[in-house]
Amino acid sequence: MNMQWKSWTRRAVLTALATTMLPMTAMAEAAPRVKFQTSAGDFVIEVYPDKAPKTVENFLQYVKDKHYDGTIFHRVINNFMIQGGGYTANGERPTRPPVPLEALNGLKNDLGTVAMARTSNPNSATAQFFVNVKNNDFLNAKGTSDGYTVFGKVTSGMEVVNKIKVTPTAPGDVPHTPIVINSATLVK
């Protein structure tokens, strides 16, 4: 009976440890998520610090600093992407220094993914981001100094992104009616 008791106790301890550790492991591996509340509705993205660490750190710092609150989607092109995060209705927001390009991370500019906007300088991404509204293979990196860094994807609210992408625009792809990001918050 002593041997049987030890075996049962060992199994009980291992089961207790497994059920305790499993949720902690899942929590540790969960990708951070950001909820965007916009004038067109809400959507949530998850970001991948394991794939684009500097980009995600930069993006999440802008979220924590409330930088995106009150900005607009200032460039909307159906069958391409929706871009925001840099302008309010009154002009451009100041930004921190740019982050280096992390486009060779295995993530592609596919439908629903989120990437950093930049100038022709590959290392110029600051706060502006875009959501791909179709597969945009031509934006994927082919070398170390091209492409656009994908760092996340829309996990809920893609219908809101689809609503934004068909918004009527003026020359320059600026929506006639501003689409405001009321808030961007980290989801716990």
Asked if 126 and 98 count as a contact pair (C-beta separation under 8 A), the reply is yes
Clarify whether residues 115 and 86 are in a common domain: yes
Q: pLDDT tens digit string along 106-149?
A: 999 999 999 999 999 999 999 999 999 999 999 999 999 999 99
In this predicted structure, the answer to whether residue 36 has a pLDDT above a threshold of 90 is yes
Task: Supply the Cα-derived Rg of the chain in whole angstroms.
Answer: 21
> Is there a single domain that holds both residue 1 and residue 91?
no
pLDDT > 50? residue 52 = yes
Looking at the predicted structure, is the pLDDT value of residue 6 above 60? Answer: no
In the chain, where do the E strands start and end? 33-38, 41-47, 71-77, 81-84, 87-88, 91-92, 113-116, 129-132, 150-156, 169-170, 174-175, 180-187
Q: Would the pTM of this model clear 0.75, i.e. be above it?
A: yes
Same domain flag for 12 and 39: no
- Tell whether 72 and 141 lie within a shared domain: yes
- Count of structural domains, the chain: 2
10 & 78 share domain:
no
Q: What is the mean pLDDT of residues 92-109?
A: 97
Same domain assignment for residues 147 and 63: yes
Q: Are residues 82 and 131 in the same domain?
A: yes
Whichever domain contains 71, its CATH number is 2.40.100.10
Same domain for 149 and 177?
yes
pLDDT attached to residue 16: 52
Given the DSSP bridges, would you call strands 71-77 and 150-156 parallel, antiparallel or unpaired? Answer: unpaired
Range of the domain at 43: 31-187
- What confidence tier does 5 reach under pLDDT thresholds 50, 70, 90? very low
Q: What is the pLDDT of residue 188?
A: 79
| Same domain, residue pair 23 and 47 | no
When pLDDT is cut at 50, 70 and 90, the band that residue 46 belongs to is very high
pLDDT band at 25 (very low <50, low <70, confident <90, very high): very low
Q: Is the model's pLDDT at 94 over the cut of 70?
A: yes
Residue 181 reports pLDDT greater than 50: yes
Distance CA 87, CA 97 (A): 16
Find the range with the poorest average confidence among 20-24, 51-55, 71-75, 110-114: 20-24
Question: What residues pair up with 82 in beta bridges, in sequence order?
Answer: 76, 131
Measured between alpha carbons, how far is 58 from 62 in angstroms, rounded to an integer?
A: 6
